[in-house]
Amino acid sequence: MKRLFALWATTVGKKVAMAVTGIVMILFLVSHMISNVLIFKNPAHLDSYAAWLRSLGPALWIARVGLLGAVVVHIVAAYQLTMRARRARPIAYDRHEKQVTTYAARTMRWGGVLLLVFIVFHLLHFTTGTLHPDFHPGEAGRNVIEGMQVTPVAIFYLVSMLALGLHFSHGIWASFGTLGFHNPAYNQWRRLLAWGVAILVAGGFATIPAAAILGYLK
């Protein structure tokens, strides 16, 4: 435990924590996305998924606490690394020449903040129903279809999924580097995998609000 705290105190330790917690969240999101797109087959599939989650009882709560812990560690590490970087250069550069970087890399912090706002909204929308126009507990399929009929909400979901895709593509790419895989020989595969997972997960989720806006999901 002492060793773990000593590692956490270092910059590399915080980056490793971000990579590991990021992977935990991605695993959750892959299964969440697959369960959600089943709504196109039959909205009842989503109800069974929600019922199955509840049937897990205490295991669901362990998973929820684990997921929440991963989110908290990820955010705290990101915040502390940002502050460390600022302290290392308290006076901004006179001229700011753009490094060879990607749009996804430059939007990590703002994208992360938007995702945090999204998650809070999302839980109040589909889990508690507080921000839902016509919430029916236990009827997840119906709640998603009804909730997505509110166009500004569906647009917010789409924008958030764009942020999620960008965040993922850079996050996955950077995690591999942190965990020691940065041999130029397979950098191309690393980038391909990062974009592939990002497009698959964010794109899969995005089909739901997009279908609602286009009138295919009602």
Closer Cβ to ligand HEM, 8 or 150, answer by number: 150
10 Å Cβ neighbour count for 191?
A: 15
Q: According to the binding rule CB under 6 A, does residue 168 interact with ligand HEM?
A: no
Would you say 53 and 144 are in contact if contact means Cβ atoms under 8 Å apart?
no
Closer Cβ to ligand HEM, 106 or 122, answer by number: 122
Among 18, 78, 140, 166, binds ligand HEM (CB under 6 A): 140
Would you say 197 and 166 are in contact if contact means Cβ atoms under 8 Å apart?
no
User: In the bound complex, what is the minimum distance in angstroms from residue 152's beta carbon to ligand HEM?
Assistant: 15
List binders of ligand HEM among 42-71 (CB under 6 A): 50, 53, 64
When computed from its CA atoms, the radius of gyration of the chain, rounded to whole angstroms, is 19
DSSP state string for 16-78: HHHHHHHHHHHHHHHHHHHHHHGGGT-HHHHHHHHHHHHHTTHHHHHHHHHHHHHHHHHHHHH
Q: According to the binding rule CB under 6 A, does residue 122 interact with ligand HEM?
A: yes
Chain residues binding ligand HEM by CB under 6 A are: 29, 32, 36, 50, 53, 64, 115, 119, 122-123, 126-127, 140, 143-144, 157, 164, 205, 208-209
